[in-house]
Amino acid sequence: MRIILGIEYNGSHYHGWQAQAHANSIQQTLERALSKIAAHPLQVQCAGRTDAGVHALEQIIHFDTEAERPMQAWLLGGNSHLPDDVRILWAQPAIGDFHARYSAIARFYRYVICNRPIKSALLYQQSTWCYPPLDAEKMHQAAQHLIGEHDFTSFRAQSCESKSPNRLMHFIEVYRQGDQVIMDISANAFLHHMVRNIAGVLMEVGSGKQPTDWTSHLLAVKDRKQAARTAPPEGLYLGGVCYPAHYGLNTHPIFAKLPRDAKRFD
């Protein structure tokens, strides 16, 4: 049987999602807990790997097992073996050929910026601090140049191993909530550090250092060196993953904003 889980985590004390020999990871933490419920070793697959210090509002994972357990056992039993900064939100059996990564048709990330003169104690390691005042409206205007299918070479890490720099950007919204500036962004898939590089560029625009059409220029030049520094990982959250309706998964309400022609595979 293939089981699907929705996972929430605070990535502050982990070296990212992927299992590593000499560092603590989200993947290893989940596999240890779930293997106790299954009574045999398990390997989990995720919708999208997150870097060190990055969080998830809802990561989607799946695993295969011969152990017959009620869904509540995976949910409650799994959580009983997990640390307080990792939680299983829901569990359900997979339908058909579901794969957490390869069945996904869109991902949603949120980037949170604490924009005030003093750092936040409550959002320590859960937001990026930027003390110069940011113009969220200008950031939003600049972000709209990135909508659609583009070559995102200027926004990918130099170490990115993806064969193609092209991605289909569904929407980007930048808005202010009190002393927080929030960026919500969705695409069919993302390049390595792509969201953090976009956030870094938009903060340059928001602080008045660059014009709102700088994003168009960066798309055209296809040169990572001409863009801004990569924004810190602390403000980044994997917000949710969208799948075709026939898999029977409830998706984050934000995916209702996807254009009708967005249902395409990466």
Out of 51, 135, 151, 266, which one is annotated catalytic? 51
How far apart are the C-alpha atoms of 218 and 153, rounded to whole Å? 9
How far is the CA of 185 from the CAs of 38, 69, 209, 231, 259, in angstroms? 36, 36, 22, 15, 13
Kindly calculate the radius of gyration of the chain based on its CA atoms and give it in whole angstroms: 19
**Concatenated DSSP letters of 161-194:** --S--EEEEEEEEEEEETTEEEEEEEES---TTH
Concerning whether 85 is annotated as a catalytic residue, the answer is: no
User: How large is the angle between the packed helices 136-143 and 194-206, nearest 10 degrees?
Assistant: 130
How far apart are the C-alpha atoms of 133 and 101, rounded to whole Å? 38
Burial degree of 222 (CB within 10 A; 0-12, 13-18, 19+): middle
The token pair at 211 is 């014009």
Upper half-sphere CA count for residue 261 (Cβ side, 13 Å): 4
Supply the residues annotated as catalytic: 51
